Amino acid sequence: MKKIVIIGGVAAGASCAARLRRLDEKAEIIVLERGEYISFANCGLPYYIGGVIARRQNLLLNSPESLRSRFNIDVRIMNEVTSILPAEKTIEIKDLNSGDNYRESYDYLVLAPGAAATDPGISGSDRPNVFKLRNIPDTDQIKEYIMTRQPRQGVVLGAGFIGLEMLEMLHSAGLKVSLVESGPQVMRMLDPEMAAILQQYLRHQGIDLFLNAKAVTMDGETEAKSVVLEDGRSLPADIVVMGLGVKPENALARNAGLDLGPTGGVIVNDFLQTSDPYIYAAGDVIESSNFFTGEARHFPMASPANRQGWLVAGNIAGTSRPYPGVQGTSIVKVLDMVAAGTGQNEKDLQRLGQPYLCCHLHPSSHATYYPGASMMTLKLIFSPEEGHLLGAQIVGFDGVDKRIDVLATAMRAGLTIDDLQELELAYAPPFSSAKDPVNMAAYVAGNILDGNVDVVYWWQVAKRMEDGSILIDVRTPAESAAGMVPGAINIPIDSIRDKLDHIPRDRELMVYCRVGQRSYIASRILKQHGFNVKNISGGYLLYQPWQAEQNNK
């Protein structure tokens, strides 16, 4: 009979324990959790604080009692593992209720302690109205503070998942919110022009955005009353939430002599074994590999953690399957806007020196003649030869989740741009268009691959104009009068054939319209008449937020 001890009882740990029992009725399974709760919905914590999830009990997916009764698992909460002795296949444990220390042997050990909130050591961060959010007690403290103290101004540090979700909850509760991010943009999974759409939306919702900004201190006598930035600006604050990322809880592994990677995560092999073959690891504590590149990365998300825990159980029970790596599919809701991504972004590809092409388009969530349609911005990144998908990003309101999931599945299956054109996706006017946004993106990308159109991007336009390129706006005069890129010449698409003799043939032309469709037609006309013409990817709708964010720097 195998004895398996699991350290950590949330996503990876609980998933591992439950499947182990399903696979092996005779195994002795012990789950040790230093906190008061197991198997809670970590990703739902911000939504309980904001009242979207009304009942606290809904966050508790399982209890020690339910795991004992249904799965015959020995669950010990408030029991902290203090050390691992691999040579003896033994761990040392402290019962946090009684204060007693004891030992437990194992045949196999599973490390799933998760990750801890990053603490940059900001002066004043120990004040009672400065919070982190990682577990149920953190959630209770924040919610009680908001309900009893009724703060009016909040500051959120960090523009990742937790930061943006807490921003939404504080804003929805009526607080004036400032968001401070040390990097140049929100949501690092997005490329800058896609992040600009989300940033402009936040600004229009009344959120004060401070990018490339670093908090250095929190002033106040007993509570923090302001957050002071590195450049001296002071942001008033009745409550501060720190969402500055997480780091692997690797102390146990490090002290046990297990190998750690450059990200601080525990190194595991394809079967999620650590450098000790009797110790497995899963979830936020491990260093994963990129599914496409093999590059080491730390990806602390619930879906991979649950999958890894599931696989570890099978590998211990004898139904071994390898873990292929993390694809990086993620999504976040911020107020009414949604941002999602999968695969690699341009920043990653440029760092790796990998060639790529990309395109932007603005399809509607469903048929525009059916009520309620909204526009999204979709970006595809693909290889220039075979047209393999390398990454995708979408920012919009409705239908973002469906499309990113289709694209993530296509990437995992190794589909090409040609394959995406052939996908037969569900259509009815309330749900999509006859050409689904995924199909439309593939058509746009296919035109680039087939040489039907050459593209440039807005961040290249100014330099090309300095070098002599001509910028042509092919929208209607009324559209151009409402807002036009500086230096552009307006030649409406329906007049362009009549103006061919007035357009220089010895200079590069760059054309744009609202979303890129009319300018594509214009570029086809001009190209077939012998002009050197480039279509600007994403059109004026991509230019507006990108340029506005350039002006905010």
Half-sphere exposure of residue 31: CA atoms within 13 angstroms, side-chain side: 35
Please tell me the distance from the alpha carbon of residue 38 to that of residue 59, in angstroms, as a whole number: 10
Please tell me the distance from the alpha carbon of residue 531 to that of residue 507, in angstroms, as a whole number: 8
Please tell me the distance from the alpha carbon of residue 32 to that of residue 81, in angstroms, as a whole number: 7
Residues composing the chain? 553
Beta bridge partners of 105: 90
User: In this structure, are residues 519 and 506 in contact, taking their beta carbons and an 8 Å threshold?
Assistant: no
φ/ψ (deg, to 5) at 43: -70, -15
Per the annotation, the verdict on 43 as an active-site residue is: yes
Which of 43, 358, 359, 513 is flagged as catalytic?
Answer: 43
Residue 553 to residues 181, 234, 515, Cα–Cα distance (Å): 13, 18, 25
Q: What is the 3-state secondary structure (H, E, C) of 386-431?
A: CCEEEEEEEEECCCHHHHHHHHHHHHHCCCEHHHHHHCCCCCCCCC
User: In this structure, are residues 237 and 225 in contact, taking their beta carbons and an 8 Å threshold?
Assistant: yes
Question: Structure tokens of 329?
Answer: 């599919």
φ/ψ (deg, to 5) at 138: -60, -45
Q: What is the 3-state secondary structure (H, E, C) of 74-97?
A: EEEECEEEEEEEHHHCEEEEEECC
Provide the 10 A C-beta neighbour count for residue 457. Answer: 17
Which distant-in-sequence residues (6+ apart) come within 8 Å of 422 by Cβ? Answer: none
CA-based nearest residue to 300, from 288, 290, 317, 318: 288
User: In this structure, are residues 550 and 486 in contact, taking their beta carbons and an 8 Å threshold?
Assistant: no
CA-based nearest residue to 27, from 269, 313, 392, 353: 313
Helix (H, G, I), strand (E, B), or coil: what is residue 302? helix
Please tell me the distance from the alpha carbon of residue 184 to that of residue 166, in angstroms, as a whole number: 20
Which distant-in-sequence residues (6+ apart) come within 8 Å of 57 by Cβ? Answer: none
| 404-442: burial string, b at 16+ Cβ within 10 Å, e else | bebbbebbbeebbbeebbeeebeeeeeebbeebbbbbbb
Indicate the Cα dihedral angle 327, 333, 336, 340, nearest 10°: -10
User: In this structure, are residues 153 and 236 in contact, taking their beta carbons and an 8 Å threshold?
Assistant: yes
Residues catalogued as catalytic: 43
